[in-house]
Amino acid sequence: MTDLTAHMLELGRRARAAAQGLRDAPAAARTRALDLLAEKLKAAEAPILAANAKDVEAARANGMTEAMIDRLALSPARIAGMAEAVATIAAVADPLGVETERWTPANGLDIARVRTPIGVLGVIYESRPNVTADAAALCIRSGNAAILRCGSDCLQSSLAIAALVAEALAEAGLPADAVQLVDTPDRDAVGLMLAGLDGAIDLLIPRGGKSLVARVQADAKTAVLSHLEGLNHTYLHEAADLDVARAVAVNAKMRRVSVCGATETLLVDRAGAQRLLPAVAADLIAAGCELRGDDEARALVSEMKPADDADWTTEYLAPILSVRVVDDLDAAADHIARYGSGHTEAIITTDAGAAERFASKVDSAIVLINASTQFADGGEFGFGGEIGISTARLHARGPVGAEQLTTYKYVVRGQGQIRP
Amino acid sequence: MTDLTAHMLELGRRARAAAQGLRDAPAAARTRALDLLAEKLKAAEAPILAANAKDVEAARANGMTEAMIDRLALSPARIAGMAEAVATIAAVADPLGVETERWTPANGLDIARVRTPIGVLGVIYESRPNVTADAAALCIRSGNAAILRCGSDCLQSSLAIAALVAEALAEAGLPADAVQLVDTPDRDAVGLMLAGLDGAIDLLIPRGGKSLVARVQADAKTAVLSHLEGLNHTYLHEAADLDVARAVAVNAKMRRVSVCGATETLLVDRAGAQRLLPAVAADLIAAGCELRGDDEARALVSEMKPADDADWTTEYLAPILSVRVVDDLDAAADHIARYGSGHTEAIITTDAGAAERFASKVDSAIVLINASTQFADGGEFGFGGEIGISTARLHARGPVGAEQLTTYKYVVRGQGQIRP
């Protein structure tokens, strides 16, 4: 066994042991740890910035692009934002021990379904130091122990933040090992985490770009919570309000083009295309968006380039939108079922019946009626933050906050019942 | 590609296509299909018995043991029981479309969490023809398409039952392909299902003995819902009522020794051992149970054989019980955390505080207070039936009925909200 293997297995054993203490502690202790962490982040601005400066300097020396360095670099405002995010998660109701259902079947037993943590989470992310604080906070709130593996480029910043997490845990009377950061840049550590650290990891969460997620999905020997693509659709129903269609379509595509909730394809009912599409397209073009349409769409908007089959399956994550005219709601739903990634879809309509039919027929994790797909976000859902968005059909779907990081158990109260 | 591969992939494509029709149909159509199936099973007693006679004859010729033949053989009473089980599932509330939560965050969106099916289930089982009807019924109730693979020894019986399922689906206006039985005894079909049929299977459910489950868990390329062992504990707290302890301990071990909810280890508080253990042990011995204890337990019960370390980790599924004296509730919980399989545990006590502490501290899928571990069963939980019991920490834990075979999506209703 290599030194690295032994070291990582030891992290796993410590996480497993700490998980029980974190789970059994009262909600107030987890809240206290989060409040302390928010305070400590603010108070430690200088040492965090100093550690971050080392990461940035090394990254520059290694030729990192300025766009990547912008993700990596911290500032007083960004550290304040990190503290604010932790405080928001501290204010979310503790999900543990909550009864989600309770009933009594014919045998007279009193059966309750109660939330309990998943156990030990392995979080693998890139060079964004704020994820260290965010992921730690969501794990503490949900009672899950965590092994965090950051991109090697942000190791110094993350070590500074992780030290504060350990202090906050210990001062709140919780096991300091409940959140551990992998303290080596050795890339083999990721492979060991994917193998599950001898059963110590219950769930892996990759947070980052497509290549990271694809690798984790392909190689993980344990369960993975993730989505690969947000190939999202906004559908303008023939009864769409024009002002709503214009405002929502532009926001859904252009608010931030690089997020997983961005719309990638606009579908328009043939019966409404002449009324809706020219104005919506003009707004998108004015906002700097390139449009690629089918023949019918292009007949209505001369600036549109032709779309080919690859456009229906491309998550641009860029100011480009594919546009297709469809027969009706069923055709829109069929297009989404065929080309979508099951992440987030929206319908714009004033017809309440059509809206509900779309919501029922389209089986993505999130279906929006008359609102922007960019609301696909745990913060916007009121979860206080999110560790990601899941397109899996098992366990959590959609934005994953603290509550979605839990499972449940049954507590059954009897008076001596035996089974006949 | 072999003929078998092509055939199995075609089953997968049909299941995927049928899944949407089953999901989008109204609850009344699924209920109608189940009512029809119950009627058809009763009406088709003669052809089912004739098909079953062929299976039994072939099994006898192949030298199958009488115990196995007893599982395989049907009778008019068993067919009536199968119809009754389907009727019970028909009477369970349809879980689809049910809103499990609904709230409005600060952005004013109306967000609902709604139950939706998982998709396509692959159910792999042994030579028990009744599972064909049971599994089909739970899949129909939960809106999941299913590919059923029975043990080759019960293929004729299962084909007869599956034909009735297809008729019932079609007569209720549902896709007949929503439940398909693999119609070949070729054992390579199982390997193809484990590989997921080109993404057509969302969840595999092995139903059977340990070797089947272990193979599916080891080789499946898709998610698996299962448990390998029910290494369950009954813990007699020092404040246990003696009569309750006697009745529950005997029932928990001896009602049926071969079920996954059977107790395999009895833990007794040292402070209560003298008062409780001799009487409980005498009842167990009178019921035909062999006891294997640690030194302290043997000092109180002379008939007890010595237990060794392997006894704490053995799921006997036989009239044998290991017995250990523990310091207190914490020691009992530690023993369970170390040796248990996370399935089902019970505490017997008159101390309500101790009971709740045990329920909180022990993190198995089911924790019972003053009741027999043999209640670990979807029927007893009021689920109308079960496809199995899950010890996984993700998705469903505990007994899995129709509701537990669903996931959810979010339906978000807005009035044109765009994200700032």
How far, in Å, CA of A49 to CA of A26, rounded? 34
What is the pLDDT confidence band of residue B318, given thresholds at 50, 70 and 90?
very high
Does the pLDDT of residue B26 top 90, yes or no? yes
Is A418–B355 a contact, with Cβ atoms under 8 angstroms apart?
Answer: no
Distance from CA of B36 to the nearest CA of A (A): 26
Is B394–A107 a contact, with Cβ atoms under 8 angstroms apart?
Answer: no
Residue A328 confidence (pLDDT): 98
Is B395–A394 a contact, with Cβ atoms under 8 angstroms apart?
Answer: yes
Q: What kind and span of H or E run contains B102?
A: strand B99-103
How far, in Å, CA of B112 to CA of B102, rounded? 4
Is A414–B20 a contact, with Cβ atoms under 8 angstroms apart?
Answer: no
Type of residue at B274: Q
Q: Does residue B306 or residue A222 have the better pLDDT?
A: B306
Residue B392 confidence (pLDDT): 87
User: Would you list the DSSP string of A321-374?
Assistant: EEEEEESSHHHHHHHHHHH--SSEEEEE-S-HHHHHHHHHH--SSEEEEEE-GG
Substitution target in B118, B201, B225, B375 with the highest count of A β-carbons within 10 Å is: B375
Residue B40 confidence (pLDDT): 98
**Nearest CB to A202; choose among B106, B251, B393:** B393
Q: What is the mean pLDDT of residues B260-268?
A: 97
Q: What kind and span of H or E run contains B350?
A: none
Does residue B342 share a domain with residue B312? yes
- Establish if A406 belongs to a structural domain: no
Is B414–A370 a contact, with Cβ atoms under 8 angstroms apart?
Answer: yes
Does residue B197 share a domain with residue B334? no
Residue A397 confidence (pLDDT): 87
Reading the block at residue A126, the tokens are 């890139």
For residue A403, give the nearest of B316, B408, B367, B118 by alpha carbon.
B408
- B137-146 pLDDT per residue, tens: 999 999 999 9
Tokens 């290694």, located at residue: A62
Neighbours of B218 (CB within 10 A): 9
**Nearest CB to A247; choose among B372, B407, B416:** B416
User: Would you list the DSSP string of A267-291?
Assistant: EEEHHHHHHHHHHHHHHHHHTT-EE
How far, in Å, CA of A69 to CA of A63, rounded? 10
Does residue B178 share a domain with residue B121? yes
Residue A396 confidence (pLDDT): 87
Residue B393 confidence (pLDDT): 87
Does residue B196 share a domain with residue B239? no
Does residue A218 share a domain with residue A266? no
User: Would you list the DSSP string of A295-330?
Assistant: HHHHHH-TTPEEP-GGGGG----SSEEEEEEESSHH
State which of A226, A247, A279 marks the end of a domain: A226
Domain holding A107: CATH number?
A: 3.40.605.10
Distance from CA of A181 to the nearest CA of B (A): 23
Residue B408 confidence (pLDDT): 87
Domain holding A304: CATH number?
A: 3.40.309.10
Does residue A279 share a domain with residue A222? no
Q: What are the chain A neighbours of B251 within 8 Å (beta carbons)? A: 418-419
- Conformational region of residue A348, where left means phi above 0, alpha means psi within -120 to 50, and beta covers everything else: beta
Q: List the beta bridge partners of residue A234.
A: A266, A346
State which of A226, A242, A267 marks the end of a domain: A226
How far, in Å, CA of B198 to CA of B405, rounded? 21
Could you tell me the end-to-end alpha-carbon distance of chain A, in angstroms, rounded to an integer? Answer: 53
Neighbours of B418 (CB within 10 A): 18
Mean pLDDT by 10 residues, chain A (420 residues): 94 97 95 98 98 97 92 96 96 93 92 94 95 96 97 97 98 98 95 96 92 92 88 98 97 95 98 98 98 98 97 96 98 96 96 95 94 94 91 88 88 89
Does residue B243 share a domain with residue B153? no
Is B418–A255 a contact, with Cβ atoms under 8 angstroms apart?
Answer: yes
**Nearest CB to A366; choose among B252, B394, B410:** B410
Does residue B263 share a domain with residue B181? no
Distance from CA of A376 to the nearest CA of B (A): 10
Q: Which domain holds residue A17?
A: 3-226
Does residue A263 share a domain with residue A144? no
Residue A111 confidence (pLDDT): 93
How far, in Å, CA of B69 to CA of A337, rounded? 46
How far, in Å, CA of A377 to CA of A256, rounded? 13
Does the pLDDT of residue B359 top 90, yes or no? yes
Does the pLDDT of residue B295 top 90, yes or no? yes
Three-class HEC string of A129-157: CHHHHHHHHHHHHHCCEEEEECCHHHHHH
**Could you tell me whether strands A388-390 and A398-400 are parallel, antiparallel, or unpaired per DSSP bridges?**
antiparallel
Nearest CA in chain A to B338: A17
Q: What is the mean pLDDT of residues B110-134?
A: 95
Tokens 């109260």, located at residue: A413
- Establish if A345 belongs to a structural domain: yes
Q: What are the chain A neighbours of B106 within 8 Å (beta carbons)? A: 382
- Establish if B211 belongs to a structural domain: yes
- Establish if A398 belongs to a structural domain: no
* Helices and strands: H and E segment counts in chain A: 14, 17
Does residue A170 share a domain with residue A252? no
Q: What is the mean pLDDT of residues B144-155?
A: 96
Q: What kind and span of H or E run contains B132?
A: helix B130-142
**Domain total of chain B:** 2
**Nearest CB to B359; choose among A252, A366, A411:** A411
Is A418–B371 a contact, with Cβ atoms under 8 angstroms apart?
Answer: yes
Q: What are the chain B neighbours of A413 within 8 Å (beta carbons)? A: 355, 369-371
Q: What is the mean pLDDT of residues B195-206?
A: 95
Residue A169 confidence (pLDDT): 98
Q: What are the chain B neighbours of A366 within 8 Å (beta carbons)? A: 409-410, 412
For residue B207, give the nearest of B191, B227, B192 by alpha carbon.
B227
Does residue B10 share a domain with residue B149? yes
For residue B14, give the nearest of B166, B154, B157, B142 by alpha carbon.
B166
State which of A226, A251, A275 marks the end of a domain: A226
Torsion angle of C-alpha atoms A62, A67, A68, A74, degrees rounded to 10: 110
What is the pLDDT confidence band of residue B319, given thresholds at 50, 70 and 90?
very high
Is A97–B380 a contact, with Cβ atoms under 8 angstroms apart?
Answer: no
Radius of gyration of chain B (CA): 24
Residue B390 confidence (pLDDT): 92
Distance from CA of B122 to the nearest CA of A (A): 14
- Establish if B158 belongs to a structural domain: yes
Does residue B236 share a domain with residue B174? no
Is B413–A369 a contact, with Cβ atoms under 8 angstroms apart?
Answer: yes
Complex ipTM: 0.91
Is A23–B370 a contact, with Cβ atoms under 8 angstroms apart?
Answer: no
